Protein backbone atom coordinates (compact mmCIF):
# COMPACT_ATOMS: atom_id res chain seq x y z
CA UNK A 1 0.00 0.00 0.00
CA UNK A 2 0.97 3.64 -0.14
CA UNK A 3 1.90 5.59 2.99
CA UNK A 4 0.04 8.75 3.90
CA UNK A 5 1.77 12.06 3.18
CA UNK A 6 4.64 13.20 5.37
CA UNK A 7 7.36 15.83 5.55
CA UNK A 8 10.99 14.88 5.38
CA UNK A 9 14.00 16.50 7.02
CA UNK A 10 17.65 15.55 7.15
CA UNK A 11 19.34 16.02 10.50
CA UNK A 12 22.93 17.30 10.43
CA UNK A 13 23.78 16.42 14.02
CA UNK A 14 22.43 14.66 17.07
CA UNK A 15 21.24 17.95 18.54
CA UNK A 16 19.48 18.77 15.27
CA UNK A 17 17.62 15.50 15.52
CA UNK A 18 16.68 16.12 19.15
CA UNK A 19 15.40 19.60 18.26
CA UNK A 20 13.29 18.20 15.46
CA UNK A 21 11.79 15.57 17.76
CA UNK A 22 11.14 18.05 20.57
CA UNK A 23 9.41 20.56 18.33
CA UNK A 24 7.10 18.04 16.68
CA UNK A 25 5.62 15.21 18.72
CA UNK A 26 4.44 13.53 15.50
CA UNK A 27 7.97 13.35 14.06
CA UNK A 28 9.83 10.04 13.84
CA UNK A 29 13.46 9.26 13.26
CA UNK A 30 14.30 7.25 10.21
CA UNK A 31 17.50 5.23 10.14
CA UNK A 32 17.62 2.24 7.77
CA UNK A 33 13.88 2.49 7.18
CA UNK A 34 13.52 -1.27 7.14
CA UNK A 35 10.99 -1.38 9.94
CA UNK A 36 9.51 2.09 9.68
CA UNK A 37 8.70 2.10 5.98
CA UNK A 38 6.87 -1.25 6.03
CA UNK A 39 4.76 -0.08 8.97
CA UNK A 40 3.97 3.17 7.17
CA UNK A 41 3.06 1.33 4.00
CA UNK A 42 0.73 -1.00 5.83
CA UNK A 43 -0.93 1.97 7.52
CA UNK A 44 0.18 1.01 11.04
CA UNK A 45 2.22 4.19 11.41
CA UNK A 46 1.64 7.61 9.87
CA UNK A 47 4.20 10.07 11.17
CA UNK A 48 3.83 13.70 10.02
CA UNK A 49 7.53 14.07 9.58
CA UNK A 50 10.53 11.84 9.09
CA UNK A 51 13.84 13.00 10.51
CA UNK A 52 16.59 11.21 8.63
CA UNK A 53 19.64 10.57 10.78
CA UNK A 54 21.57 8.79 8.04
CA UNK A 55 24.06 11.61 7.54
CA UNK A 56 24.82 12.32 11.19
CA UNK A 57 28.56 11.62 11.51
CA UNK A 58 28.48 11.10 15.27
CA UNK A 59 26.22 8.08 14.78
CA UNK A 60 28.56 6.25 12.42
CA UNK A 61 31.63 4.15 13.06
CA UNK A 62 32.83 1.24 15.18
CA UNK A 63 35.43 2.25 17.83
CA UNK A 64 37.39 -0.57 19.36
CA UNK A 65 38.34 0.66 22.84
CA UNK A 66 40.30 -1.10 25.57
CA UNK A 67 37.59 -2.89 27.44
CA UNK A 68 34.69 -2.28 25.12
CA UNK A 69 33.69 -1.38 21.58
CA UNK A 70 31.36 1.46 20.76
CA UNK A 71 29.09 0.84 17.78
CA UNK A 72 27.33 3.92 16.41
CA UNK A 73 23.57 3.75 16.05
CA UNK A 74 23.74 4.20 12.26
CA UNK A 75 26.17 1.33 11.73
CA UNK A 76 24.72 -1.24 9.34
CA UNK A 77 24.52 -4.92 10.30
CA UNK A 78 26.81 -5.86 7.43
CA UNK A 79 29.61 -3.75 8.90
CA UNK A 80 29.19 -5.40 12.29
CA UNK A 81 29.02 -8.90 10.82
CA UNK A 82 32.16 -8.32 8.73
CA UNK A 83 34.22 -6.87 11.58
CA UNK A 84 36.70 -9.61 12.51
CA UNK A 85 38.02 -7.69 15.49
CA UNK A 86 34.54 -7.36 16.93
CA UNK A 87 34.02 -11.05 16.39
CA UNK A 88 36.97 -11.67 18.70
CA UNK A 89 35.84 -9.07 21.22
CA UNK A 90 32.13 -9.87 21.35
CA UNK A 91 31.39 -12.94 19.29
CA UNK A 92 27.69 -13.16 20.12
CA UNK A 93 27.04 -9.64 18.84
CA UNK A 94 28.88 -10.04 15.53
CA UNK A 95 27.40 -13.48 14.97
CA UNK A 96 23.86 -12.25 15.58
CA UNK A 97 24.26 -9.35 13.16
CA UNK A 98 25.36 -11.87 10.58
CA UNK A 99 22.11 -13.81 10.96
CA UNK A 100 19.74 -10.89 10.48
CA UNK A 101 17.56 -11.00 7.36
CA UNK A 102 19.35 -11.29 4.05
CA UNK A 103 22.02 -9.28 2.22
CA UNK A 104 19.71 -6.41 1.42
CA UNK A 105 18.46 -6.12 4.98
CA UNK A 106 21.99 -6.34 6.38
CA UNK A 107 23.15 -3.61 4.05
CA UNK A 108 20.38 -1.21 5.09
CA UNK A 109 19.27 -2.01 8.62
CA UNK A 110 21.04 -0.27 11.49
CA UNK A 111 22.10 -1.39 14.92
CA UNK A 112 20.40 1.62 16.51
CA UNK A 113 17.18 1.19 14.57
CA UNK A 114 16.94 -2.47 15.43
CA UNK A 115 17.47 -1.96 19.16
CA UNK A 116 15.36 1.20 19.43
CA UNK A 117 12.49 -0.35 17.46
CA UNK A 118 12.48 -3.37 19.81
CA UNK A 119 10.44 -5.68 17.65
CA UNK A 120 9.94 -8.81 19.77
CA UNK A 121 11.06 -10.93 16.81
CA UNK A 122 14.21 -8.92 16.06
CA UNK A 123 17.59 -10.52 16.54
CA UNK A 124 19.72 -7.88 18.19
CA UNK A 125 17.88 -7.54 21.52
CA UNK A 126 18.95 -11.05 22.55
CA UNK A 127 22.54 -10.25 21.63
CA UNK A 128 22.44 -6.96 23.53
CA UNK A 129 21.32 -8.89 26.63
CA UNK A 130 23.79 -11.73 26.20
CA UNK A 131 26.67 -9.35 25.50
CA UNK A 132 25.73 -7.16 28.48
CA UNK A 133 25.88 -4.05 26.31
CA UNK A 134 25.34 -0.50 27.44
CA UNK A 135 23.10 1.82 25.45
CA UNK A 136 24.00 5.47 24.99
CA UNK A 137 20.97 7.72 24.79
CA UNK A 138 20.91 11.46 24.02
CA UNK A 139 18.05 13.86 24.68
CA UNK A 140 17.26 17.49 25.42
CA UNK A 141 18.86 17.02 28.86
CA UNK A 142 22.08 15.56 27.53
CA UNK A 143 23.50 12.05 27.38
CA UNK A 144 22.82 9.08 29.61
CA UNK A 145 23.58 5.38 29.57
CA UNK A 146 21.23 2.43 30.12
CA UNK A 147 22.18 -1.14 30.94
CA UNK A 148 20.92 -3.86 28.67
CA UNK A 149 18.84 -5.37 31.45
CA UNK A 150 16.94 -2.12 31.92
CA UNK A 151 16.56 -1.16 28.29
CA UNK A 152 13.73 -3.29 26.84
CA UNK A 153 10.33 -2.54 28.34
CA UNK A 154 7.88 -4.31 26.09
CA UNK A 155 6.71 -4.71 22.52
CA UNK A 156 8.21 -1.80 20.57
CA UNK A 157 8.90 -0.09 23.89
CA UNK A 158 12.32 0.78 25.29
CA UNK A 159 13.85 3.19 27.75
CA UNK A 160 14.39 5.73 24.95
CA UNK A 161 12.00 8.66 25.46
CA UNK A 162 9.89 10.45 22.85
CA UNK A 163 12.44 13.18 22.19
CA UNK A 164 15.54 11.08 22.75
CA UNK A 165 17.63 8.99 20.45
CA UNK A 166 19.94 6.08 20.79
CA UNK A 167 23.41 7.19 19.76
CA UNK A 168 25.52 4.10 20.31
CA UNK A 169 25.76 0.64 21.78
CA UNK A 170 28.79 -0.19 23.85
CA UNK A 171 29.73 -3.84 23.93
CA UNK A 172 32.18 -5.09 26.57
CA UNK A 173 35.02 -7.40 25.60
CA UNK A 174 34.01 -10.23 27.81
CA UNK A 175 33.25 -13.89 27.56
CA UNK A 176 35.16 -16.79 26.06
CA UNK A 177 32.75 -17.66 23.30
CA UNK A 178 29.42 -16.63 21.87
CA UNK A 179 26.80 -18.07 19.58
CA UNK A 180 23.36 -17.29 18.20
CA UNK A 181 20.93 -20.04 17.23
CA UNK A 182 17.98 -18.78 15.25
CA UNK A 183 14.81 -20.35 13.97
CA UNK A 184 13.73 -17.96 11.22
CA UNK A 185 10.08 -17.43 10.48
CA UNK A 186 9.83 -18.97 6.99
CA UNK A 187 7.85 -15.98 5.73
CA UNK A 188 9.52 -12.92 7.22
CA UNK A 189 12.95 -14.28 8.13
CA UNK A 190 12.64 -12.71 11.58
CA UNK A 191 13.24 -14.87 14.64
CA UNK A 192 10.43 -17.23 15.55
CA UNK A 193 12.84 -18.03 18.32
CA UNK A 194 16.44 -16.91 18.61
CA UNK A 195 18.83 -17.67 21.43
CA UNK A 196 22.00 -15.65 22.00
CA UNK A 197 24.61 -17.03 24.35
CA UNK A 198 27.81 -15.68 25.86
CA UNK A 199 29.86 -18.13 27.91
CA UNK A 200 32.86 -17.34 30.09
CA UNK A 201 34.91 -20.43 30.71
CA UNK A 202 37.62 -21.50 33.07
CA UNK A 203 38.84 -24.67 31.43
CA UNK A 204 35.74 -26.82 31.04
CA UNK A 205 33.85 -24.95 33.68
CA UNK A 206 31.30 -22.30 32.89
CA UNK A 207 32.01 -19.39 35.21
CA UNK A 208 29.45 -17.06 33.71
CA UNK A 209 26.61 -17.51 31.25
CA UNK A 210 24.36 -14.86 29.76
CA UNK A 211 21.53 -16.06 27.56
CA UNK A 212 19.14 -13.73 25.75
CA UNK A 213 16.11 -14.94 23.81
CA UNK A 214 14.14 -13.29 21.01
CA UNK A 215 10.73 -14.05 19.64
CA UNK A 216 9.41 -15.70 22.76
CA UNK A 217 8.14 -12.89 24.97
CA UNK A 218 6.93 -9.41 24.04
CA UNK A 219 10.54 -8.22 24.19
CA UNK A 220 14.02 -9.69 24.32
CA UNK A 221 14.41 -11.63 27.56
CA UNK A 222 17.18 -13.20 29.62
CA UNK A 223 16.75 -16.88 30.48
CA UNK A 224 17.89 -16.88 34.13
CA UNK A 225 17.01 -20.50 34.82
CA UNK A 226 19.05 -21.75 31.93
CA UNK A 227 21.93 -19.50 32.97
CA UNK A 228 21.77 -20.83 36.54
CA UNK A 229 21.62 -24.38 35.31
CA UNK A 230 24.75 -24.10 33.24
CA UNK A 231 26.85 -21.84 35.46
CA UNK A 232 29.35 -23.68 37.58
CA UNK A 233 28.97 -26.90 35.63
CA UNK A 234 31.58 -28.45 33.48
CA UNK A 235 30.18 -28.03 30.02
CA UNK A 236 28.88 -31.26 28.53
CA UNK A 237 25.99 -32.58 26.51
CA UNK A 238 24.26 -33.40 29.78
CA UNK A 239 24.68 -29.99 31.35
CA UNK A 240 23.54 -28.38 28.13
CA UNK A 241 20.45 -30.54 28.07
CA UNK A 242 19.65 -29.65 31.65
CA UNK A 243 20.02 -25.96 30.87
CA UNK A 244 17.85 -26.25 27.77
CA UNK A 245 15.14 -28.02 29.74
CA UNK A 246 15.19 -25.10 32.15
CA UNK A 247 15.12 -22.46 29.40
CA UNK A 248 11.43 -21.71 29.48
CA UNK A 249 10.64 -22.80 32.98
CA UNK A 250 10.02 -19.41 34.58
CA UNK A 251 8.45 -17.83 31.53
CA UNK A 252 4.76 -17.27 31.90
CA UNK A 253 3.19 -19.38 29.16
CA UNK A 254 0.26 -16.98 28.88
CA UNK A 255 2.67 -14.23 27.96
CA UNK A 256 4.53 -16.26 25.36
CA UNK A 257 4.06 -15.01 21.80
CA UNK A 258 1.70 -16.85 19.53
CA UNK A 259 1.12 -16.53 15.80
CA UNK A 260 0.31 -18.40 12.64
CA UNK A 261 3.67 -20.14 12.59
CA UNK A 262 3.94 -21.26 16.20
CA UNK A 263 1.71 -21.53 19.24
CA UNK A 264 3.04 -20.59 22.68
CA UNK A 265 3.49 -24.24 23.54
CA UNK A 266 5.52 -24.91 20.42
CA UNK A 267 7.58 -21.74 20.88
CA UNK A 268 8.65 -23.00 24.27
CA UNK A 269 9.54 -26.31 22.68
CA UNK A 270 11.67 -24.47 20.12
CA UNK A 271 13.19 -22.36 22.85
CA UNK A 272 14.57 -25.47 24.51
CA UNK A 273 15.90 -26.89 21.26
CA UNK A 274 17.53 -23.63 20.21
CA UNK A 275 19.02 -22.99 23.64
CA UNK A 276 20.62 -26.37 23.30
CA UNK A 277 21.98 -25.55 19.85
CA UNK A 278 23.33 -22.16 20.94
CA UNK A 279 25.04 -23.58 24.02
CA UNK A 280 26.52 -26.45 22.05
CA UNK A 281 27.90 -24.10 19.45
CA UNK A 282 29.36 -21.74 22.03
CA UNK A 283 30.91 -24.74 23.75
CA UNK A 284 32.42 -25.89 20.51
CA UNK A 285 33.82 -22.46 19.81
CA UNK A 286 35.29 -22.37 23.30
CA UNK A 287 37.06 -25.58 22.40
CA UNK A 288 35.32 -27.55 25.12
CA UNK A 289 32.87 -29.73 23.22
Binding mask 116-145 for ligand FAD (x = CB under 6 A): xx-x--xxx---------------------
Work out whether strand 7-10 and strand 152-154 pair parallel, antiparallel, or are unpaired.
Answer: unpaired
Position among 11, 14, 32, 151 found at the interface with ligand FAD (CB under 6 A): 32
* d(C-alpha 75, C-alpha 112), whole Å: 8
Position among 60, 76, 106, 183 found at the interface with other proteins (CB under 8 A): 183
Class of residue 203 by CB neighbours under 10 A (exposed 0-12, middle 13-18, buried 19+): exposed
For residue 254, the number of C-alpha atoms closer than 13 Å in the C-beta half-sphere is: 0
Region binding ligand FAD by CB under 6 A among candidate stretches 22-30, 79-87, 146-154, 240-248? 22-30
Position among 69, 79, 92, 109 found at the interface with ligand FAD (CB under 6 A): 109
Neighbours of 85 (CB within 10 A): 12
* d(C-alpha 79, C-alpha 100), whole Å: 12
For residue 224, the number of C-alpha atoms closer than 13 Å in the C-beta half-sphere is: 3
* d(C-alpha 14, C-alpha 223), whole Å: 35
- 34, interface contact from ligand FAD, other proteins, none, CB < 5-8 Å by kind: ligand FAD
Q: Is residue 155 a contact point for other proteins (CB under 8 A)?
A: no
Binding mask 265-284 for other proteins (x = CB under 8 A): -x--xx-xx-----------
Position among 189, 218, 241, 266 found at the interface with ligand FAD (CB under 6 A): 189
Query: Which chain residues interact with other proteins by CB under 8 A?
Result: 1-2, 4-5, 38, 42, 102, 183, 185-189, 260-263, 266, 269-270, 272-273
Amino acid sequence: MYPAQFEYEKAGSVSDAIDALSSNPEAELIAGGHSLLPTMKSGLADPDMLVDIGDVDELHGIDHGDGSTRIGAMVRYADVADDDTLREEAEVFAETAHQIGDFQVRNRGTVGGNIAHADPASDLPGAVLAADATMHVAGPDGERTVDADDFFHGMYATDVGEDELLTAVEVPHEGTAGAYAKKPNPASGYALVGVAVRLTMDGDTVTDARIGANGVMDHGTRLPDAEDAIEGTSLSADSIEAASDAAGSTLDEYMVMEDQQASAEFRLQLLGAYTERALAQAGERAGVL
